[in-house]
Amino acid sequence: METKKKGGFTNSIGFVLAAAGSAVGVGNIWRFPYLAARDGGGLFLLVYLVLVLTFGSALLTTDIALGRRTGKNAWHAFGSIKPKWSFLGKLTFLVPVIIMTYYSVIGGWILKYSTVYLTGRHHQAAQDDFFTSFITSPVSPIVFMLIFLALTALVVYMGVEKGIEKFSRYVMPSLLILIIGIAIYALTLKHTDASGVTRTGLEGLKIYLIPDFKDLTFGRFLNVLLDAMSQLFFSLSVSMGIMITYGSYVKKDVDLNRSISQVEFFDTGVAFLSGMMIIPAIYVFAGTEGMTSGPSLMFVSLPKVFNSMGTAGILVGIAFFVMILFAALTSCVSILETLVATCMELFHATRKKVSCVIGLLSAAASVVICLGYNLFYFECPMPAGGKGQLLDLADYVSNSLLMPVICLLTAVFIGWVIKPSWIAEEMRVGSNGFAKEKIYSAMVRYVVPAVMVILFLQSTGLLGRLIG
């Protein structure tokens, strides 16, 4: 028997935009370009594209079909098929719980930058210690986080159709227009630096698009592959129960094959365009060295680039931070929705009540994460190198430890316990068939489990030790 929910997406476009809203986030606009820049541009792009079409597609299909067929959230979905596997539902639920604690903190940082640009203080943002002094200050990051969280909670409070779907319908197309506009502008840039060297946006585009096979060793290729793989996970919001929840809101007459391809296209398209806007801009103003700045790219390097653009930089800066604010909001909405929907089922409570309670609990947890940069400051060595604070630790546990394990267990469950045909049957409902069935089967049974083991070994630093 199928359990029908009260709420749900009105049609396939509503679903695609909401799912794309979850998928398109900080990962696409900030993480993807810096990984692409670090991993040799075109080579990373090529590897990523192949992975999206094979691996990514299999993971997204699994989550969404699982959600629609059971009509449940991750917490209950696995157990409703095989009671022995209910532990996997609970484990999956842990991921959005952890991500929620820090995603709204990053959302608060983005909100802060948006207001700095909107109030014309772009010079300030370009100063060397601006970012560090902001995140280490005691009150301001908490205030911005709380405002960001309140906005997120409001959308979730309004419900699936009137809140999430409606919000995504306006925000996602606006985001696309902003990003295309900035990407085109980035290509027209030209700058001569102090040593008299002139660089253009088009040269930057070449670096981004043309694969660099120079000194390509097996070890380096493996690194690119693993970077692309972990990026794919985070970017598509898979293996964390979110797409299971959204899948449970999809009507049976929606063609999932088509919707899944559209979500992938949207997510990959935005990532690609982000690279097209950020890499040429950084290249023009900071050269190839500027491109290796890594995580600090968005909050430290880009404001400097906007500052060097003169007056245009103010407008571009506003457009950029507002756009990324939209992207972060729709992603955070999907995380909170997963928590709220699950607790509504667990405690048989109303959406309004649960949204308020979970909103308050998340706020308390996020305050602790904010304090990780002052009151609770510590330096913890991370397996991948560098030192991390509370936020990095939460990110590491959810994305690098839990997600590969959950993905591995889910693949074993689908591939070997209930068999891929269970998913294939759902993919045929509302469509003419499931053309990718064979490749899907091979992916969940063999490729995904094997790759997850490698990814887990790499995240824990064990792979490096094994291959020396």
* CB closer to ligand PHE, 99 vs 407: 99
In angstroms, what is the minimal distance from the CB of 362 to ligand PHE?
A: 13
We find the least distance from the C-beta atom of residue 338 to ligand PHE, in angstroms, to be 8
Of the two residues 57 and 331, which places its CB atom closer to ligand PHE in the complex? Answer: 331
Q: Which is nearer to ligand PHE, 366 or 441 (CB)?
A: 366
Amino acid at 317: G
Q: Residue 163 or 415: which CB sits closer to ligand PHE?
A: 163
- Which of 25/159 has CB closer to ligand PHE? 25
Q: Which is nearer to ligand PHE, 94 or 187 (CB)?
A: 94
CB of 146 to ligand PHE, least distance (A): 20
Tokens representing 372 are: 């990780």
3-state secondary structure the chain: CCCCCCCCCCCHHHHHHHHHHHHCCHHHHHHHHHHHHHCCEHHHHHHHHHHHHHHHHHHHHHHHHHHHHHCCCHHHHHHHHCHHHHHHHHHHHHHHHHHHHHHHHHHHHHHHHHHHHHCCCHHHHCCCCHHHHHHHCCCHHHHHHHHHHHHHHHHHHCCHHHHHHHHHHHHHHHHHHHHHHHHHHHHCCEEECCCCCEEEHHHHHHHHHCECCCCCCHHHHHHHHHHHHHHHHHHHCCCCCHHHHHHCCCCCCCCHHHHHHHHHHHHHHHHHHHHHHHHHHHHHHHHHHHCCCHHHHCCCHHHHHHHHCCHHHHHHHHHHHHHHHHHHHHHHHHHHHHHHHHHHHHHCCCHHHHHHHHHHHHHHHHHHHHHCCCCCCCCEECCCCCEECHHHHHHHHHHHHHHHHHHHHHHHHHHHHHCHHHHHHHHHCCCCCCCCHHHHHHHHHHHHHHHHHHHHHHHCCHHHHHCC
CB of 446 to ligand PHE, least distance (A): 26
Q: Which is nearer to ligand PHE, 113 or 283 (CB)?
A: 113
Cβ of residue 27: shortest distance to ligand PHE, in angstroms?
3
| Residue 295 C-beta: closest distance to ligand PHE, Å | 13
Q: Which residues form the interface with ligand PHE (CB under 6 A)? A: 22-23, 25-28, 99, 234-235, 237, 240, 242, 331, 334-335
Give whichever of 234 and 283 is closer to ligand PHE, judged by the CB atom: 234
Q: How far is the CB of 442 from ligand PHE (least distance, A)?
A: 26
Q: How far is the CB of 269 from ligand PHE (least distance, A)?
A: 13
Q: Is 73 or 237 the residue whose CB approaches ligand PHE more closely?
A: 237
CB of 340 to ligand PHE, least distance (A): 14
